[in-house]
Structure 1
Amino acid sequence: MEIKVDCEIRELFDKLSAKMRRDYSESLRELHLYVGQDNLLYRLWLGDGITQMQLSEHLNCEPPTITNMVKSLEQNGFIYRKRDEKDARVMRIFLTEKGKELQEPVGVIWQRHQEKLLKSISTDERLLLRRLMKQMESNLF
Structure 2
Amino acid sequence: MDFCNFEGLYQSFIRVIKVHHQFLHIILEKLELYPGQPPLLFTLYKNDGLSQREIADKLHIKPATITVMLSRMEKTGLIIRKQDKEDQRILRVYLTDKGKEMCEELKKIMPVLNEQCFGNFTEEEKETFKYLLEKMADNIEKINKR
- Is this a same-fold pair by TM over 0.5? yes
Deviations 1:80-132 (A, max 9, x none): 00000001111100000110111121122221111111121111111211111
Would you say 1:24 and 2:31 are equivalent positions? Answer: no
Partner of 2:144: none
Q: Secondary structure at 1:102's aligned position in 2? A: helix
TM superposition score normalised by structure 1: 0.92
Aligned-pair RMSD on alpha carbons? Answer: 1.7
Match of 1:101 in 2: 101
Is 1:132 the counterpart of 2:132 in the alignment? yes
Single out whichever of 22-31 and 75-84 deviates more from structure 2: 22-31
Letter in 2 for 1:18: K
Deviating 4+ runs (over 4 angstroms): 4-7
Q: 1:110 to 1:7 in 2, by over 3 A?
A: same
Q: Does 82-91 or 117-126 show the bigger shift? A: 117-126
Partner of 1:101, secondary structure, is helix
Could you list the per-position Cα deviations for residues 22-70 of structure 1 after superposition, in whole angstroms to 9, with x for gaps in the alignment? 1111111111110101111111011111111111111111122111110
> 1: CA distance between counterparts of 2:56 and 2:131?
27
Aligned CA distance change for structure 1 residues 134 and 6 (closer, same or farther; 3 Å): farther
Q: State how far apart, in whole Å, the 2-side matches of 1:127 and 1:52 are.
A: 33
TM-score by length of 2: 0.89
Give distance in 2, aligned partners of 1:32 and 1:103. Answer: 13
> How far apart, in 2, do the equivalents of 1:116 and 1:40 lie?
23
Equivalent residues, number: 140
> Which residue of structure 2 aligns with residue 80 of structure 1?
80
Q: Larger deviation: 39-48 or 106-115?
A: 106-115
Give the gaps of 5 or more residues in structure 1: none
Aligned positions of 1:46-85 closer than 5 A: 46-85=46-85
Aligned partner of 1:13 in structure 2 is 13
1:7/1:140 Cα in 2 relative to 1: closer, same or farther (>3 Å)?
farther
Give the % identical residues.
29
